[in-house]
Amino acid sequence: MKYLIAIVLIVSSLWSAELDWGNNYDKALLEASEQNKLVYIFITSDACKWCKKFEATTLQDKGIDARLHKEFVTVHLSRDRDNIPTKFETAPVPRHYFTDAKGNILYSSLGHRQVECFDSFMDNAQNKLKVSK
């Protein structure tokens, strides 16, 4: 019984791990402007199992994590706790938005994605920026 309880606690802690990202969209835009980066906004709900799965899998991939922090300013917004600008849809979740430093949406998507698919989302956002210039 002790082992079962320990396993449940370990698994639940993995699923409830918070991202160590900012949750201030305006500050992220300012940082993106200063650092010449795009912004990635990840919108979740506290009870969303697909959001937690995305955090625990795709966002934990070392390549995805390295690329996100090198090329983007990251923002994690919970529709249950944070003030989210009205231009972003908040249901259903998880939602993914990529914006330029002025807040113009370059690319958006909905749902849990595997590493390869999410990596292509980052490419799509950067390519959209190149086309718009």
Q: Whole domain around residue 36: which residue ranges?
A: 19-132
Tokens at residue 121, please?
Answer: 């989302």
Task: Indicate whether 72 belongs to any domain.
Answer: yes
- pTM, two decimals, is 0.83
Task: Indicate whether 8 belongs to any domain.
Answer: no
Task: Indicate whether 78 belongs to any domain.
Answer: yes
pLDDT in tens, 76-93: 999 999 999 999 999 999
Q: Is 94 left (phi over 0), alpha (psi -120 to 50) or beta?
A: beta
For the stretch 83-89, contacts whose Cβ atoms lie closer than 8 Å and that sit 24 or more positions apart, written own/partner, are 84/25, 84/43, 85/25, 88/41, 88/43
**CATH code of the domain containing 78:** 3.40.30.10
Task: Indicate whether 98 belongs to any domain.
Answer: yes
Q: How far apart, in whole angstroms, are the C-alpha atoms of residue 123 and residue 106?
A: 11
Task: Indicate whether 7 belongs to any domain.
Answer: no
pLDDT in tens, 3-62: 544 444 444 444 444 567 999 999 999 999 999 999 999 999 999 999 999 999 999 999
Task: Indicate whether 41 belongs to any domain.
Answer: yes
Domain count of the chain? 1
